[in-house]
Amino acid sequence: MFKFVSFGAMAVSLLLLAAPASAQEQTGFAPAVETSIQSVLPRMIAWRRDFHQHPELSYEEVRTARIVAAHLRRLRLEVRTGVAQTGVVGVLRGGRPGPVIALRADMDALPVTEEGDLPFRSRARGAYNGQDVGIMHACGHDTHVAILMAAAEVLAARREEIAGTIIFVFQPSEEGAPPGQLGGARRMLAENVFGDLRPEAMFGLHAWPGDSGTIIMIPGPFMAGSDRIDITVTGSQTHGAQPHAGIDPIVVSSQIINALQTIPSRQMDAVRSPVIVTIGMIQGGVRYNIIPQTVLMQGTVRYLNPQTREDLYARIRRTVTETAATSGATAEVTISENAIPTVNPPELTERARAAAARALGQGNVRGGYPVMPAEDFAYFQQAVPGVFFFYGVNAPGVSTEQAAPNHNPRFFVHEPAMETGLRAMLAIALDRVGAQP
């Protein structure tokens, strides 16, 4: 168990420290901190553009990690590399005693071919699942890394005034590990990411289609659990002109896909146990006039209520196998855990919201509803009380409905929005390790 310690009554943070009222109202930061923020902004954008132009897939973040580690060493942090293969951890020990906190950014890109027309667009290519693919930061991880690098610089400049220790965690492989491997968060934890330190709290952020200048932070369930389904349907191969002489696994697969949709719509409580079942890949057959022997399918399951997970998967297995059996086929189902639900502790979240509101303005710190994408930051939350939040990245005048979603080849980040992410992260950190009087 980790004990929460309140420093609000006894510590005066760098946030608001010695700033005149007008400066406080404008920025929420002491003048020296504000100066550091303004100084680092151009380089934060340059780092982001460089990472965007040179994206790397999960556990291949060699170049990114090298740049991050070099930056942290220039700031005179204690640096460990090779944590979870390509992960980087930097430790900033303040000049005054205080709590230990951790800040996290994920580094990996996606097998997506970019379609935007940015001058720094990605043209990188690589191998994924045996296929030649384009590679793109289609989920904003390039901005996460640049923001945390900028935060490290601002905080390191105030090292002597920091009351505590800050661990900067640059994580590989958030987007999913290769088959048979652990994802980045779980692997970092297994490899003792925090060393001999024990953080009392951890914070992470994510780019999200929303109004620039705002963040979204809610207590309780925030993002879904996500698991992978692999289904192999086996029939009996035959001539396309003689389907009666075999068992068609393609037709059976289509029946399975339809039947799976009745689980969220007819078998699970839509309010207390919202669920999504998606089949995203189907492979079967090699020739137009041959009914194949097997069909392979892969998909994802999303859920918000951990208590219903086992019941959900029992229903999936039963639906798949019994639907196949009605046609004389067989089906094997494998479900692999990818991420558990991201749940923000209410008390910790409210304190983080208050700190962010002081820096950004109350109206720019918004609530909302849980969403069904998943984040392996949730595994850090199992080890350390943690809060995860979104920062809006839409260009002015672009609504959430108009914006390309994460993982889309036209996903776009309005770069001035990154300053909001930086300010939010700094405010939350300084609220816990700000200078004492």
Q: Do the domain assignments include residue 3?
A: no
**Which of 423 and 15 is assigned the larger pLDDT?**
423
CB 245: neighbour CB atoms within 10 A? 11
Residue 9 pLDDT exceeds 90:
no
Residue 25 pLDDT exceeds 50:
no
The strand pairing partners of 208, in sequence order, are 392
pLDDT at 72: 98
Residues 235 and 123 in one domain: no
From 128, 337, 320, 335, select the one nearest 234 (Cα to Cα). 320
Report the alpha-carbon distance of residue 190 to residue 307 in Å, rounded: 25
Residues 246 and 335 in one domain: yes
Report the alpha-carbon distance of residue 67 to residue 76 in Å, rounded: 15
pLDDT at 1: 32
Burial of 80 (0-12, 13-18, 19+ CB in 10 A): middle
Residue 166 near residue 91, CB atoms below 8 Å: yes
pLDDT at 3: 31
Query: What are the pLDDT digits (tens) for 235-281?
Result: 999 999 999 999 999 999 999 999 999 999 999 998 888 999 999 99
Residues 261 and 216 in one domain: no
Task: Name residue 420's amino acid.
Answer: T
Among 176-185, 260-269, 276-285, 395-404, the range scoring the smallest mean pLDDT is 176-185
| SS3 (DSSP) at 240 | coil
Confidence of residue 435 (pLDDT cuts 50, 70, 90): low
Confidence of residue 2 (pLDDT cuts 50, 70, 90): very low
Query: What are the pLDDT digits (tens) for 31-82?
Result: 999 999 999 999 999 999 999 999 999 999 999 999 999 999 999 999 999 9
Mean pLDDT computed over every residue of the chain: 92
Query: What number is the average pLDDT over the span 400-415?
Result: 96
pLDDT at 437: 31
Residue 160 pLDDT exceeds 50:
yes
Confidence of residue 283 (pLDDT cuts 50, 70, 90): very high
Query: What are the pLDDT digits (tens) for 294-307?
Result: 999 999 999 999 88
Residue 170 pLDDT exceeds 70:
yes
Residue 141 near residue 108, CB atoms below 8 Å: yes
Residues 333 and 184 in one domain: no
Residues 400 and 263 in one domain: no
Give me the domain span that covers residue 393: 21-223+341-433
Q: Do the domain assignments include residue 266?
A: yes
Report the alpha-carbon distance of residue 261 to residue 323 in Å, rounded: 13
Report, as residue numbers or ranges, the catalytic residues: 108, 174
pLDDT at 340: 93
Domain boundary among 275, 304, 339: 339
Residue 12 pLDDT exceeds 50:
no
Domain boundary among 294, 322, 339: 339
Residues 293 and 403 in one domain: no
Query: What are the pLDDT digits (tens) for 129-141?
Result: 889 999 999 999 9
Q: Do the domain assignments include residue 175?
A: yes
Report the alpha-carbon distance of residue 172 to residue 185 in Å, rounded: 8
